[in-house]
Amino acid sequence: MTERLLPAISACLDWASEADPPPALEERDLALLLSVHRDTGAHEPGDWTVDDVHDVAAHLRDRDTLPDSLRDSWLAWCDHLVSSGGLRSAESPRRLRAAIERIGLTPGSARPPGHDPVDDAASPLLARLGFLEGTEPAPVLPYVPESRAELDARALACPPLHRAARLSAWVAPRRLLRPGTDHDELGAEETAQAARDLDRTPAEVRFLFSVARSAALVRTTYLHVLPGPAATAWAEDRPGAAADAWADALTTMVALPGAAPFLLLAELFLSGRAHTPAELVGACGPGALPGSEEPEQHVLRALEALADLGAVEGVGTGRYRSTGLGDHCAARHLRDSGVRVPVVPPLDGLDAKGLLDLLDRVRPVDVEVLLDRWLADRPPKEAARDLVDAGLPTVDDDPEAFVLAVAADPSAESVLARVGACPLRNTAVRAR
């Protein structure tokens, strides 16, 4: 059993010992559940969705026997996560508990036929990361993250997130959820009142509540709404809090069905290039794009929605690339899935030869950023001369003209405009 599971089991047992009435809970059941949960790909004991319930149950049914107490222990684990705020996903606690209550746990019963549609939809990304059988992971290139201050400023300027934050501040703690449904939403009276107070329609309030939940600005129990962990971080102005909330809520704010928006963003992030919608269709596996719409048209619609939220930006003619916020979202979710996402090291003390070597190993979209940073820390003429001496070819094989031009305009754009044919120029072009 890993070190991460032991504290989780201990915390649940402590919670159960203080609960009144105490729940039916067996430590061995918890150890079994969380071990299987980990083995199916979970990276946090508290990260549960309805899909996880089905995956774990399918693996449990492969066993010859299961303890009679298993379902009760599983429900107690769910109750512990919900009451303590330890549920890491944006899953509805009501839906999660209902799934555990209903799932089949008879040993030896057959698994449902067919592939997981989510795995099918994400198959290009999973293959790229080496998560599919028979595939080798492609290298994940280091990227240049924006500062937390820059990311927060961009996130705060996103209208849906700003409105969701206003709604979360409006909602009084322990306000009752709408009864009689597996979905988490405010009651009819509260929704109508929020719409009046915030100058929104009831439909907008319901949408913004789902955004607030995804952003962890609020969290829900089986009955009530409570402040979420992001609300505390937001109120305390913790660096990165707004950007993290934005990243966690992005796919909800996009408001398009399916996995396509994140798959497109992940491809733009990992490739570090600008792409047309036609080039990005291949990033979406079977089922990721609706059959009712031309694939390229749906990709374009998803890209436009992502652009409206600040995740991608249009460049050139009909091409899109990831923004700093988009990079932050993709990197955050990939890391949460266990992918190592490296960051470009600081440029302090890096000479021209070291810079050119580094630029060969980064994403195309980061070339100009790094060049600008390196040039800003040096006397312009000296920097230009160092680049030439390090072997950077110049247009018309005229290093003196290159040095004079870059000294007059010490920018990445100036350098790239006067570089001769070489891999660096070819790489930088892919970002445009």
The tokens describing 14, both together, are 């402590």
pLDDT at 365 over 90: yes
Assess contact for 234 and 245: CB atoms under 8 A.
Answer: yes
Residue 247: φ, ψ to 5° = -65, -40
Q: Report pLDDT for 172.
A: 84
When pLDDT is cut at 50, 70 and 90, the band that residue 293 belongs to is confident
In eight-state DSSP terms, residue 344 is P
When pLDDT is cut at 50, 70 and 90, the band that residue 123 belongs to is very high
When pLDDT is cut at 50, 70 and 90, the band that residue 422 belongs to is confident
Looking at 232-342, which runs of residues are DSSP E strands?
312-315, 319-322
Assess contact for 118 and 49: CB atoms under 8 A.
Answer: no
pLDDT tens digits, 71-97: 999 999 999 999 999 999 999 999 999
Contacts of 279 (CB under 8 A, 6+ apart): none
Average pLDDT, stretch 259-269?
97
What is residue 410's three-state secondary structure?
A: coil
pLDDT at 313 over 80: yes
* Residue 69 amino acid letter: S
Burial category of 265 from C-beta neighbours within 10 Å (exposed 0-12, middle 13-18, buried 19 and up): buried
When pLDDT is cut at 50, 70 and 90, the band that residue 164 belongs to is very high
Contacts of 327 (CB under 8 A, 6+ apart): 143, 145, 146, 269
H or E stretch covering 218: strand 218-220
Percent of the chain residues topping a pLDDT of 90? 80
Q: How far apart are CA 246 and CA 189, in angstroms?
A: 28
pLDDT tens digits, 191-243: 999 999 999 999 999 999 999 999 999 999 999 999 999 999 998 999 999 99
pLDDT at 114 over 80: no
Q: How far apart are CA 217 and CA 143, in angstroms?
A: 28
Percent of the chain residues topping a pLDDT of 70? 97
Closest by CA position to 23, among listed 71, 56, 60: 71
Q: Report pLDDT for 115.
A: 54
pTM exceeds 0.95: no
Q: Report pLDDT for 316.
A: 80
Note the maximum CA span of the chain.
84
Mean pLDDT of the chain: 93
When pLDDT is cut at 50, 70 and 90, the band that residue 1 belongs to is very low
DSSP 363-390: -HHHHHHHHHHHHHTS-HHHHHHHHHHT
Assess contact for 246 and 150: CB atoms under 8 A.
Answer: no
